[in-house]
Amino acid sequence: MTGRALVCWLWRSYLHPWRWWFALAMLLMSLEGSMIGALSYLVKPMFDNVFVGGSPSAVVWVAAAVAGVFLVRALASLAHRLIMARLGERVVAALQGDVLRHLLTLDQGFYKTHPPGSLIERTRGDTGALRTLWNSVIAAVGRDLVSLVSLLGVALWMDPVWTLVAVAGVPLLLLPIVALQRLVRSTSRAARIAAADSATRLDEIFHGVVSVQLSGTEAREAARYDEAQNRYIAAQLRAEAGSAGIPALIDVVAAIGFGGVLAYGGFQIIGGEKTVGEFMSFFFAMALVFDPLRRLGAVSGAWQSTRASLDRVAALLAIPPRITSPAHPVPVPRDPASLRIAFEHVSFAYDETPVLNDLSFLAEPGQTTAIVGPSGAGKSTLFALLARMMDPDSGRITLAGTDLHRFALAELRGLYSIVSQETALFDETLRDNILMGRSDVSPARLEEVLAAAHLTEFVASLPAGLETPAGPRGSALSGGQRQRVAIARALLRDAPVLLLDEATSALDAASERMVQDALDRLASGRTTLVIAHRLATVRNADKIVVMQEGRVIEQGRHGDLVAQGGVYARLSQLQFGD
């Protein structure tokens, strides 16, 4: 995206709603900037009328004018800084919210190639670059540009020739500054990528801290993080060096200009052609000119750094969701007796890795269909396709005879209750983790759900009851407790289709009995699909679908499949010894 297009996008999407506050802030910045020009102009009467002329009346009005300039400048500065701080935080928060909402529309294929740490850095770090835009770029344009114009106006008023001598070296800056801007943009982009790598490394370390500690690899992980940080530091220092080079070049030009003016103007004062007040007013103005000029020069570097971050945010927001609702969705079926699920010649691959290959089977309404097979057979992918977290490459999946693509996403996903082996709990209270934002659940209904999920006694044993925090990712609970919370959540959802993915695989025998009993209650009367490695949990299923290498190779009840002597019979013999 070009710089102009980026500015237009920011204005249209985020700044326009605040345009009147923004205009007021710019007016106040201009007022602050113009006071510098007024101050430099007052230097002439200060020297000529007060210090040299000795006029008593001039002392009063010059002192009052100087005090007024500083007072107006202070009030304008305070007001615009407060306004810009408020607008800056509002705009950054709005952009971060939009990035998060957009990320939540993207499919699982996107998340397989973009780790959480990188996305956190995009959402928090790259969007935070807008603060630089508010604090440096816009402030410089609104305040320093006006200061520059007013000061140059005073300098030209005093002597145009002096002014031309002072700025004669400015054209020499153009090519070096353009080169430095390109350097800053490229190195800033590399620094943002390196920062995302560091965030990803931290996320993986903290997420796998138990494995790190048990394997004794703390030093290795710390060293890998140090390497990522060193890459970030190197890129950031190159960007900072480029940014610092721009005002340094301006100082070089200022040295040349001041030397020329002092030599040329000094002889004019000695010859009586100019007064001391005129020269001091000019000198004061030109001395102050290079201060906003340096800041404006630094702004070009700051803008390039900000642009590198905003380009990444804009590119992220430009990724189109691949899984969307149809323009004219059909109503989802409400009759539980009609909820037959059919996979019809479905094939699917992650990138170039095939997962499902011409897979077909039926899950009848009101029955339990178990899906078994070795790891990597594609079992869990079925659930992701059912919920349209991904779409098949070929074939189709129907619900009550209707292709899933014809339903609105929210309504389709509302048909499912899911309990998996990795229960997603949040660092909130047990109540929040069960209700998941619902406010229409009565206390009686909640107690009923807790009892059905075998949570009543556990909750009663906690000092804070349902207000007890679950901890990060549910770490304050045991595996069985987390599963029962997930089952309570599913019971409360009361959806007609139940998807169980290895729901008891990581539990001890006592926890498994309680969880399995709760699952049996949950499955009653629902169309249920169960993924299981332990055949003991699915022996009584109405249908068992055996998968291997992405295909269905056997179907039937437990006894029939054992009698066939095929893959399922061998799995059964390994687990049961019969």
Domain end (from 289, 317, 345): 317
Domain boundary among 259, 285, 317: 317
User: How far is the CA of 447 from the CAs of 134, 413, 444, 466, 495, in angstroms?
Assistant: 51, 25, 5, 11, 19
- The whole domain housing 516 covers 336-576
Q: Which of 126-135, 269-278, 437-446, 567-576 has the lowest mean pLDDT?
A: 269-278
Instruction: List the one residue out of 47, 38, 48, 45 whose CA is nearest residue 68.
Output: 38
**Is residue 105 in some structural domain?**
yes
Q: Is residue 241 part of a domain?
A: yes
In a domain, 324, yes or no: no
105-114, 225-234, 261-270, range with the lowest pLDDT: 261-270
Residue 205 shares a structural domain with residue 344: no
Residue 322 is assigned to a structural domain of this protein: no
Answer whether residue 268 shows pLDDT above 60. no
Question: In three state form, how does the secondary structure of 349-370 look?
Answer: EECCEEEEEEEEEEECCCCEEE
The overall average pLDDT reported for the chain is 79
| Pairing label, strands 402-403, 551-556 | unpaired
SS3 call for 86: helix
375 and 524 in a single domain? The answer is yes
Establish if 391 belongs to a structural domain. Answer: yes
Residue 323 lies in a domain: no
Per-residue pLDDT reduced to its tens digit, 83-127 = 887 888 888 888 888 888 888 888 887 887 888 877 888 888 788
Domain of residue 359, CATH code: 3.40.50.300
Same domain, 157 and 237: yes
pLDDT band at 522 (very low <50, low <70, confident <90, very high): confident
Q: Which whole number is the average pLDDT over 386-403?
A: 91
The Cα 204–Cα 208 span in angstroms is 6
> Over 60: is that where the pLDDT of 164 sits?
yes
| 343 and 294 in a common domain | no
In a domain, 7, yes or no: no
Of all helices (H) and strands (E), which one includes residue 469? none
Question: What's the CA gap between 578 and 575, in Å, rounded?
Answer: 8
CATH value at residue 208: 1.20.1560.10
- Please tell me whether residues 481 and 386 are part of one structural domain: yes
Q: DSSP string covering 277-295, please?
A: HHHHHHHHHHHHHHHHHHH
Contact 363, 369 (CB under 8 A): yes
Q: What is the DSSP string of 185-217?
A: HHHHHHHHHHHHHHHHHHHHHHHTHHHHHHHT-
Q: Is the domain of 399 the same as that of 310?
A: no
Amino acid at 209: V
Last residue of a domain, one of 255, 284, 317: 317
**C-beta separation of 507 from 479 below 8 A:** yes
Residues 110 and 206 in one domain: yes
Distance of CA 540 to the CA centre of its chain: 46
**pLDDT bucket at 241, cuts 50 / 70 / 90:** confident
Whether 34 and 151 map to the same domain: the answer is yes
Distant-in-sequence, close-in-space partners of 394: CB < 8 Å, separation ≥ 6? 345, 346, 347
Task: State the Cα–Cα distance between residues 2 and 209, nearest whole angstrom.
Answer: 42
Strand partners, 344: 396
The count of domains in the chain is: 2
pLDDT of residue 19: 84
- Tell whether 301 and 341 lie within a shared domain: no
* Separation of alpha carbons 290 and 243, rounded Å: 17
Higher pLDDT, 296 or 536: 536
Statement to judge: residues 286 and 361 lie in one domain: no
Lowest mean pLDDT among 264-278, 431-445, 504-518: 264-278
Q: pLDDT category, 436, cuts 50, 70, 90?
A: confident
Q: Are 183 and 242 in contact (CB under 8 A)?
A: yes
393 has a pLDDT exceeding 80: yes
